[in-house]
Structure 1
């Protein structure tokens, strides 16, 4: 019997998020823009914590 396992999704880097933000902006999708910005802010905070 084969067990189902969670697939690991590739992590997006900052450039990927910026590209997605650009696309969301061109599409006028404000909710998506806010979500992407929130993720970028979380990545920035994570990097700040690591560097301290």
Structure 2
């Protein structure tokens, strides 16, 4: 379970970096896509931690 948590944490960090780039570029569609993927990753983490 610790490995899954660490992997999800790294994915969220990567998504946040991409989200910052999308914001700088003004790409709203990409921002929504990244946000959706982060939500899915967090949901997956919550499911595995139960």
Structure label with greater radius of gyration = 1
1:37 paired residue number: 35
Q: Deviation at 1:13? A: 1.4
User: 4+ residue stretches of structure 1 with deviation over 4 A?
Assistant: none
Counting helix residues as a fraction of each chain, which structure ranks higher?
2
Higher relative contact order (CA 8 A, sep 6+): 2
Q: List aligned pairs for 1:1-52, cutoff 5 A.
A: 13-52=11-50
Residue segments in structure 2 that go unaligned for 5+ positions in a row: 1-9
CA shift digits 1:17-45 (9 cap, x unpaired): 10000000010000000000000000000
2:3 paired residue number: none
Cα RMSD, aligned residues only: 1.1
The number of equivalent residue pairs is 41
